[in-house]
Amino acid sequence: MSGHTPEDPITLEVRRLQRPMAGRRLLSWLLFLAGGLVFLVAPLLASLHGGDAAALRDLPVLGAMFADAAVQDEARTLGRRPDPHATPDFAKGDAAGSYQLADLSNYQAAAPTLMALDRWWNPGPLASAHQPWANDCRVCHSAGFAQVKDADCLSCHKAVSDHVDRKVVHDARLDVRCATCHLDHQGAFALAEQNKHAAGRDCADCHGDIKKSFAKTETQNVRDFADEHPNFRVQIAQSGEPGAGVRELRRVRLPAKGQLTEPSNLKFPHDVHVAKKGISSPEGKVVMKCANCHEPDANGVDYKPVNMKDHCQSCHALKMEPNLSNREVPHGSVTEVLSTLAEFYSFVGSSGSVPRGPEPLTKTIAIQRPGEPDRAPQSFVRTGGSAQGRASAAAVELFEKTSCVICHEVSRVAGPGKAGTPGRDLPQWKIAAIAPTHVWMPKSPFSHAAHTSAKCESCHAATESKKSSDVLMPAIDGCRDCHAGAKPVADKIVSNCSLCHGFHIPVAKPEASPAKPLQKVAAAAAGARP
């Protein structure tokens, strides 16, 4: 060194520091081996034996150290499941709406290996739906040592749609990874719990002032169900002239006062059918309930469509010659009804007898206009004239007096019927198309199965409805009788956004028109699937 002799103190100190430290290499190897033992060998052995206490006892060194711990760990974790009584579903946050999933570790299954030693490379058990791929990380992690990409999720979840249609509106706040909200490796039950309780104040971040994000939206501002939520919007058929056919559906907000109506082209007074005094039937007076016509579907979530055969025809029979036969015209098109009548009276005229059947005659309810005297059902077999004249008179009776007109909007039309049919030369009518069966609240997955303890009339004012055009959907005030907002309220259900709404809103697709009977027959004859 320049300016210093070999014997200077500073030169001696520098040389001392440059000399290898005694035992430094040995210490490095000891630290390396210890790290390998703790972070590689021990987790590997634990993973291979999977927490089997008996197998762990046979391991050299580690067996004696961890055998007792393994037995205790196995007893503690055996059959562990989330305990809703021990840990609440929600933990209150500082701001309104910030109710998030409580301690997530409560839903996290215990480590599958002794003392969770394999957690250095195994972040935790997968959700139950992802268990088939638990041993193949590449199914979700397409890139090594990297987070799961959205493309990896969408490779399986192809039907998942955006929150809003990006062609209509785009908000940068929606550009988040799937794993931002859906965290796996938290146990078999945690992912489902996250999905149920994910929505909170994040929804209000956009919907609290939705016009600011999207000025053209029909959605109103929403912050909390208890006091900052507009009345519901229900889906109804568009208004149109009677007989205009199937109309487009649109969503309309329930009014604060008054009754929302939908042009159904049906005549059905709910109040008459569910009256406490009962209603006439072939078996006498019966007191009907909502369940007589509204049957839950297989899942109990919604209800099956009401149809003539199963719910109406036992009282509203479509008999021709009810004094002589139980035979009825089909509940179908005008052409089918007229053709049935023409064939029936043609057969009676040629054979001189009425096709009755072996069963005894069933009673038919005669519906009279108010003030009209009771009269027995008319018989056209015993009147004079031709078969066509009898069929015409019977058609007028059915369409305009006793059957069709009771429930439908019926109008007489000029001209002949469909060419080539038996009823072509009879009088013709037009039945106004009824509103299509549809979902009332497509943006809310409401479950009737979750509300079986409530009576139908507590939500639907059927006993007061005199017209089938009345939309009997409950307003928000009725729901607030039982449901609070995000803040707990005594005797009410805490209700955040995710209780009634989903985040990934599916894009509505037009339903395929069903094939007509003749088309189905032609397809079957050609060897194709109808």
The two three-digit tokens of residue 225, written as one number: 């169900």
Count of domains for the chain: 1
pLDDT at 95 over 60: no
The answer to whether residue 79 is domain-embedded is no
pLDDT at 21 over 50: yes
The answer to whether residue 417 is domain-embedded is yes
The answer to whether residue 301 is domain-embedded is no
357: region left, alpha or beta (phi > 0 left; psi from -120 to 50 alpha): left
Q: What is the pLDDT of residues 196-249, one digit of tens each?
A: 766 666 788 888 998 887 888 888 999 999 989 999 999 998 765 544 555 688
Q: What is the pLDDT of residues 26-48, one digit of tens each?
A: 788 888 888 888 777 777 776 66
- Cα–Cα distance between 47 and 72 in angstroms, integer? 17
- Tell me the three-class secondary structure of 386-419, residue by residue: CHHHHHHHHHHHHHHHHCHHHHECEEEECCCCCC
The answer to whether residue 465 is domain-embedded is no
Region 345-358: mean pLDDT is: 84
Q: What is the pLDDT of residues 362-382, one digit of tens each?
A: 888 777 666 666 667 788 888
Residue 62 has a pLDDT of 55
Residue 134 has a pLDDT of 85
The answer to whether residue 267 is domain-embedded is no
pLDDT at 178 over 70: yes
Listed in sequence order, the residues at least 6 apart from 427 whose beta carbon sits closer than 8 Å to its beta carbon are 392, 395, 396, 412
Q: How confident is the model at residue 342 (pLDDT cuts 50, 70, 90)?
A: very high
- Cα–Cα distance between 290 and 286 in angstroms, integer? 13
- Cα–Cα distance between 362 and 381 in angstroms, integer? 18
Residue 286 has a pLDDT of 93
The answer to whether residue 359 is domain-embedded is yes
- Cα–Cα distance between 122 and 118 in angstroms, integer? 6
The two three-digit tokens of residue 75, written as one number: 């007893």
Listed in sequence order, the residues at least 6 apart from 105 whose beta carbon sits closer than 8 Å to its beta carbon are none
Task: Decide: pTM greater than 0.85.
Answer: no
Q: Tell me which residue range forms the domain holding 372.
A: 334-433
Listed in sequence order, the residues at least 6 apart from 158 whose beta carbon sits closer than 8 Å to its beta carbon are none
